[in-house]
Amino acid sequence: MPKEFLIPDLYRSEIIKTVKNARQILDPRKKDRTPAVLDLGPVRFLVPRHFGFCYGVENAIDIAYRTVEEHPGRNIYLLSEMIHNPTVNKDLETRGVRFLFDTDGTERIPISSLSPDDIVIVPAFGTTLEIQQKLEKQGIDPYSYDTTCPFVIKVWKRGKQLGSRGYSLVIHGKYQHEETRATFSHSSQEAPCVVVLNPEEAHILADIMLEKRPRDDFRKYFGMKCTDGFDPIGDMRHIGVINQTTMLATETREVMQILRDAVEEKYGSATGESGAVEMHFADTTDTLCYATNENQSATYGLMDERADLALVVGGYNSSNTMHLVELLEERFPTYHVRDASEIKSRSEIHHFNQWSKEVERTRNWMPKASEPVTIAITSGASCPDALVDEVLLKVASYFDGCRPVDEALKPFREEAAHSGTT
């Protein structure tokens, strides 16, 4: 049976939960990525097959809230934001939880000021070996309240396995992201490591490995993102690619293919004189996070539909949320909002531009001529469904003549009930 998580009521939703439950009953294996349609009359919402809290996030919330509930009066700290959602982190702060670090690694509270009686919760991204050692020095077991996502741990285990077999590791991720910093820390104990951000950097690394670019280019592009003494020629003889689990899975596969092609060019194909590609390039596709994959596949399902615009709900520092925005921007005018408060009126919205790293104000964002207006709506893996409900209701409030939400949800309840009895 699936694990039951303690999720606070304030994160639960009525609208999205009803739609998700119906889809789960009708399509338990999630083979149909066609979005559901929540039809309120003058405005329709396309709700993707999969989005919102993933297993790792629910597991982290469960551990964090149980820890707070079971230890009243104790000093409880999170190493940094447990997940990249301001609503969740703010709520934990109101319950007395304090953060030791900002997301960029800046220290808020010195670990040296903690005592063995204090509780420290490791966030879903995991943490570095260096921080673990500092906690142990203070008499604090970093594994007692560890919410590290199981799929992040899976990546670490594969990195350790490959390192023990003499492979170097290419980490596809954002070098300053907490998860990538943690993965780099764990992996660099086992193998030479280098971080690449995207396929463009993968091409640069491949060209350096193939000596099509000068070796000095490695220092220029990767000098701050590799283990000391990394040799882009010698250390790339045997490589495996692991990733920050919130990166686009399609992009990680592209990075893998670029480097695999370079290995094949250098060492020959499976039948070449230099030996099989498989001897030099490890297949690590099974480490890609299933939830990230499902979210992204469901987003492609949204992109197959016609919509006037897209709304993506989630924290402005959430990597997986920004990747969903990146995909949807290819198809629709897309607005990344933290919560319903960013939607000011039918004529004004505040939203995050990940390319300029600024919150922008856009006027006349809602189409006037076409009704019904069709809106694709989704959220990142760290966003509570309750926030999506609030955004949906806020938008609907700008349209006259919307049918009651209960009426719009009735087909989903009836389908679920009918399917459950047949």
Active site residues per annotation: 179
Cβ atoms of residues 174 and 197 within 8 Å:
yes
Cβ atoms of residues 269 and 281 within 8 Å:
no
Return the exposure string of 284-322: e unless at least 16 CB atoms fall within 10 Å of the residue's CB, then b. Answer: beebbbebbbbbbbbbebbbeeebbbbbbbbbbbbbbbb
- Sign of the CA dihedral with 185 first, then 190, 191, and 196 last: negative
Residues 6+ apart with CB under 8 A from 298: 33, 35, 48, 49, 50, 51, 378
Instruction: Name the 3-class secondary structure at 8.
Output: coil
Provide the CA 80 distance to its chain's centre, in angstroms: 16
Q: How far apart are the first and last CA of the chain?
A: 22
The CA radius of gyration of the chain, in Å to the nearest whole number, is 23
Residues 6+ apart with CB under 8 A from 165: 238
How big is the CA angle at 345 (ends 350 and 93), to the nearest 5 degrees? 50
Cβ atoms of residues 328 and 301 within 8 Å:
no
Determine the Cα–Cα distance for residues 286 and 307; give it in Å rounded to an integer. Answer: 34
Q: Number of H helices and number of E strands within the chain?
A: 13, 15
Instruction: Name the 3-class secondary structure at 314.
Output: coil
Q: How many residues does the chain have?
A: 422
